Amino acid sequence: MTVNVDIVENAGFNIISPFEDMAEFVSLSGAETQLAIAIKIHEYQQQIAQINERILALKSIHNAVTPIHAKLPSEILIHIFRHVEPDACQHIQLSHVCRLWRSAIHQAAEFWVDFLKSLPVIDRPHGRQLFRDICERTSPLSLGISVKSGDLIMVRQLPNTHLLRVTFLLVTFRGDYRTDLLDLMDLKFPALRHLTCRYETLKELVDPPSAQIISARLSDNLPRLLILHIHGRCLTPAFLVPSLRNLYIFGPISLSPNLILNGLRACPSLEELMIEDVFEAPDEEGQALVGVGSPIPMERLQTLALVSIPGNGFTNRFLPHLEYPPTTDIKIVGQGALVSSYLCHSSPPTSTPATSTIQRVVFALTPNHNEFVSKCEINGSSASSPSRFSMTFWYGPWDFPADHDHTRHFLDFATVFSSSQAPVLTHVTFSMERGLSVSDEDWHTVLDACPQVRHLDVRIASCRGLLRTLRRHIQLLPQLETLSITCENGSGVHESLVAAIESRAAMGVSRLDELRFYTERLARRKEVDVFPLFSVPRLERLKAHVRDVSIGAKDGMVWLNGLVLYQANPSLVLVDARQ
């Protein structure tokens, strides 16, 4: 059967259609045929849609009666989704599994809170509508938002019911950020507790923040802000509110200490302060600070960290203006400078909060043998904190022009931890790696500056200089109670050790309670196979002046050939039985 044969054949189509459809097209003109076909197509599409709906309904019933859904109440499923922490946008596909899952996950507000806090959903297709929908799904929980600065308008358009729930906000700025930052400063977040402002850039920012930003006045838009993590380029007094407890300023950025100090005056309740990758503006080096005035009281400060700050210009102009309690934990990581240049701000040095309560110090020097950099590390503790004080300084080859230049850093210990700087210091450990030697004069300078020390632990390749200094200058360390030496010397220093102890005892300077003398394993040197042995007569001479003596191998290996195990209250001593 044919319909409008001429038209169809001229069009070049071979039409196959159900008989009843073709019957409807008999004797129709071309335009009428097209209209009839369009109507028929629409009818078929409606039927397809209805069939698809029935298929989806059957699939939903099929999924609903699966064992996991038949036996698992919907409340349990919702509870499971509350513990899912999405870290990728693909996790939203969990709501595409089936209707039951979609309904359950939409009721799990915790899932959407984590999703919105960790992922910039506005960047996705239809992201702005998705952003609004997710904000609705987080109700009634506290809300965290992560956005690019250009999307702050979406945050501004949120209903007040949502803004009242925002407790965390992360904003990433880029390029010409000033307009976006000013918009953020105008937003009101009555419940905001944590604000992070990042700045994305591929270059080091030498130019300081714009004057419009740093001159902004304090506002009441963030009355409950506790934590502020902010790139120095976005730093503004508008965010330095009295309620602040934790402040982290990071770079790399050139900043004036004056800007930070004046801002800190508005934060009397600050408990943690960290500044990282911030350096002083070149045009401000050596200039007096303006408007700082009296020291800034920070009575609640618990932690102060200055990390990866090149040189000492910024720190030396910043720290003297802070008035923090002696219990504050100090952490400094610097480059190419002496420790004293960071801590000692007067001549002669006087006690500072950083060192006034330090009781124990570990001083370690790592030389540049095969690596690119050298390191000076100092860790101190007090009665209130095991990590009260930590300083790490890195030095490139240009900082150690001569092999003996490490002595500058060793002598610097006498400046930083002298009795005037650290009056309660009683325990000192020196760790000098192989290749570093200390002269008699340097030992005398350091020990003479610390007469308050009672416990001395020295780990060094050669202890000859230390023993000569203790023997010749008996007045040093008059309160010494414990002496521990770990070295690589052979038996040639045994007599020097005994002589030093006897000389001090003869002059009545101090009587040691404990003496520890350990020899590092020398077998790593090919020409030495065993540890140097300590003679019995020398041991008896030591016992006459020291209550507790321990002499042996540091690595714990016991060589029984030719040795006698000698118990001495109660330490184990290895001696040569043949002498």
Task: State the CB neighbour count (10 A cutoff) for residue 544.
Answer: 11
Distance of alpha carbon 429 from alpha carbon 410, whole angstroms: 12
Q: How confident is the model over 204-246, as pLDDT tens digits?
A: 555 556 666 776 776 788 999 999 999 988 888 889 999 999 9
Q: Which residues pair with 566 in a beta bridge?
A: 573
Higher pLDDT among residues 77 and 500, named by residue: 500
Q: What is the mean pLDDT of residues 245-258?
A: 89
Q: How confident is the model over 155-179, as pLDDT tens digits?
A: 888 888 888 999 999 999 887 788 8
Q: How confident is the model over 392-426, as pLDDT tens digits?
A: 877 765 454 444 467 888 888 988 888 888 888 99
Q: Is residue 349 part of a domain?
A: no
The mean pLDDT of the chain is 78
Residue 279 · residue 311 · CB < 8 Å? yes
Q: What is the dihedral of CA 309, 315, 319, 320, to 10 degrees?
A: 180
Domain count along the chain = 2
Is this structure's pTM higher than 0.75? no
pLDDT of residue 565: 37
171 and 315 belong to one structural domain: yes
163 and 312 belong to one structural domain: yes
Amino acid in the structure at residue 242: P
Residue 521 scores a pLDDT above 70: no
> Confidence band (pLDDT; 50, 70, 90) for 368?
low
| Bond before 386 cis per omega within 30 degrees | no
**Residue closest to 438 by CA, chosen among 486, 406, 473:** 406
Q: Which residues pair with 430 in a beta bridge?
A: 363, 458
Read off the tokens for 334. Answer: 């610097």
57 and 154 belong to one structural domain: no
> Confidence band (pLDDT; 50, 70, 90) for 149?
confident
Q: Of 45, 65, 85, which residue sits at a domain end?
A: 65
Look at residue 487 and give its three-state secondary structure. Answer: strand
pLDDT of residue 71: 65
Read off the tokens for 271. Answer: 């408990």
38 and 186 belong to one structural domain: no
Task: State the CB neighbour count (10 A cutoff) for residue 19.
Answer: 7
Read off the tokens for 344. Answer: 């000692």
Amino acid in the structure at residue 160: N
Locus of tokens 């700045």: 199
233 and 318 belong to one structural domain: yes
- In this structure, what DSSP letter does residue 176 have? S
180 and 299 belong to one structural domain: yes
Higher pLDDT among residues 370 and 37, named by residue: 37
172 and 311 belong to one structural domain: yes
Q: How many residues does the chain have?
A: 579
> Confidence band (pLDDT; 50, 70, 90) for 564?
very low
Q: Of 47, 65, 83, which residue sits at a domain end?
A: 65
Higher pLDDT among residues 346 and 214, named by residue: 214
- Rounded to the nearest angstrom, the gap between the alpha carbon of residue 189 and the centroid of all alpha carbons in its chain is 27
Q: Is residue 11 part of a domain?
A: yes
Beta strands 329-335 and 303-310 are parallel
The range of the structural domain enclosing residue 37 comes to 5-65
Look at residue 532 and give its three-state secondary structure. Answer: coil
Q: Is residue 228 part of a domain?
A: yes
Read off the tokens for 1. Answer: 């059967």
pLDDT of residue 369: 56
305 and 166 belong to one structural domain: yes
Q: Is residue 360 part of a domain?
A: no
Strands (E), 359-417: 360-366, 374-381, 389-395
Residue 574 · residue 531 · CB < 8 Å? yes
57 and 148 belong to one structural domain: no
42 and 187 belong to one structural domain: no
pLDDT of residue 106: 79
pLDDT of residue 168: 93
pLDDT of residue 578: 37
Q: How confident is the model over 463-477, as pLDDT tens digits?
A: 999 999 999 999 999
> Confidence band (pLDDT; 50, 70, 90) for 559?
very low
pLDDT of residue 513: 92
pLDDT of residue 407: 80
Q: What is the mean pLDDT of residues 434-457?
A: 91
Helices (H), 99-195: 99-106, 109-118, 127-137, 152-156, 160-163, 178-186
Higher pLDDT among residues 523 and 453, named by residue: 453
Residue 15 scores a pLDDT above 60: no
First to last CA, the chain: 128
Q: Of 26, 44, 65, which residue sits at a domain end?
A: 65
Distance of alpha carbon 567 from alpha carbon 548, whole angstroms: 10
